[in-house]
């Protein structure tokens, strides 16, 4: 080994190790971010389906009792607040809000059928 080359292999190995560690840390952090996004999407989707379930419950309850005004339900992992209000023209406005996830669905019913539907 030449006199000026002493320790070059060790420095090169440490440089490679540093680059590999940095790349590994970046991959782990990206995985954590994707995991958090997936959990958020799953919560939002569960809230959407729960809010739709609240609308279905309202339609069923209104078919049995036209004076039904609302209820608080537990659907899946969500608490759903459903309200129904009758308009002067005979339509019924139903609001279904699911939490966690914060999905809200507003529906207008005419003769028990959906006349308008909007998700917020």
Are 67 and 54 contacting, i.e. CB atoms less than 8 angstroms apart? no
What is the reported pLDDT for 30?
Answer: 81
Which residues in 54-85 are b (16+ Cβ under 10 Å) and which e? bbebbbebbeeeeebebeebebeebbbbbebe
What is the reported pLDDT for 3?
Answer: 63
Phi then psi dihedrals of residue 117, to 5 deg: -145, 130
What is the reported pLDDT for 2?
Answer: 62
Please list the ranges in the chain whose pLDDT falls under 70: 1-6
Domain chopping of the chain, boundaries: 3-119
pLDDT digit string (tens) for 81-102? 999 999 999 999 999 999 998 8
């Amino acid at each position: 080994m030449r006199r000026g080359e002493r320790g070059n292999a060790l420095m090169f190995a440490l440089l490679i190790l540093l680059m590999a560690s940095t790349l590994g840390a970046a991959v782990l952090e990206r995985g954590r971010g994707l995991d958090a996004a997936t959990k958020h999407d799953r919560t939002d989707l569960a809230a959407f389906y729960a809010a739709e379930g609240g609308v279905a419950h309202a339609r069923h309850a209104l078919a049995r009792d036209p004076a039904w005004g609302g209820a608080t339900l537990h659907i899946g992992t969500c608490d759903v607040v459903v309200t129904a209000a009758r308009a002067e023209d005979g339509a019924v406005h139903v609001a279904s809000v699911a939490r966690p996830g914060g999905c809200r669905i507003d529906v207008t019913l005419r003769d028990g059928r959906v006349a308008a539907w909007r998700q917020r």
